[in-house]
Chain A
């Protein structure tokens, strides 16, 4: 073989080699980000544990968070707020006082957004606001519409989920102040797949940096992003492959109840949002993930709401088998309550705030 021929051969081998890998990279990037072949990418060292705290009870949830304090609500003591200092990690309990204590409260939940805090029960329905300096709350609105979920947009407007009076299906809406408080609902945001109740169930969030509401479906690989005027921006896909909720619903005519038959596949469990990111805790395993990982960790998938793509995932390791209850994130902090335990993690800037 002559030297010239060999050089040609080598040149073509080089180009072919480089070309194949670059092509693989481009195709892989596309499928990972857009076609969702459901393989998680778990880069090392994206989060770093700051503290793990034993709360002694499993009824706490995260009501709010700043870079100095985490505020915990408690479902069995609905008007107790527990403040955790992020410097000393000491717990401090506060009693919330409402100006209307004698109502049939059933599902009181608190959201803390300093300097305010909000207390609401959509089954009454009633909404309070107060300042965290004295933890006294005054009624903002009452008896406007029943709601099953709510989230604070600002000090006078809220995202809610309610039931349509027409067909008893879930609808999203807002409750806001325009001289008086009023409610606006839109039936066009949520899409029905099965019964229009269970299949549309999910979690409602407010993203302050994008000024958008986010609704994450539990039983399908989807979340929607819309503004406070109830205009849909887009519907995003999570990495899971379940597009359709699949379960059976029994209509119990005698008691006029709807009942879920069997265990539906819970695609997305809990969500929170921070900056442009959406964090979703999911118990569904991707390909090439060890089967026993769920026994010792919670998987958090990170999505970018700015461009509707999946970014990556990370694990929150447990001390024992626990059920995740609540997650929250503020600036470079990520907190999760799992069972009795509160985990506080630090997000590594180069991954989360590009």
Chain B
């Protein structure tokens, strides 16, 4: 450790005043250089020694890492409504209602068969703690973290994201279809039971 030497002489003071002015002048002179929005793995990321460090944020932004955890997105076409994400969520921010389909709806992009409709698939991003557990348990990888982090809202209700692809009318229709099918099945079952009793 070097001992800090205090100097009080007239020329020492003048020297320190001038060195202060030179410091600010150097920064002023280098103000023509700007920081560039580099990705964190870029070798220049920590190597921008002079010039302005601020970015004009909404127009420029430092890219976020690929494994960063920000806003959730559910690709409903690939969702099999398995409810795993809602179960694993530590803050219960995911609300899912499911309606069984009367027939097979289709297949997801990884080939899993879809058998459930989701009339409600809400994620409350105001509650979300960004742990990312839901994305790890998702069997079809339809629930993902996106690089979007600037999504503040004036009304907190808008923080609830609705991912369902069914309108309320469609959902009602699907429910009635299911009820009808179940009624028919129950009726068929009852008929079969009655027929068996007769024999």
Say if A and B assemble together.
no
Q: Write the residues of chain B forming the contact surface with A, with a CB cutoff of 8 angstroms.
A: none
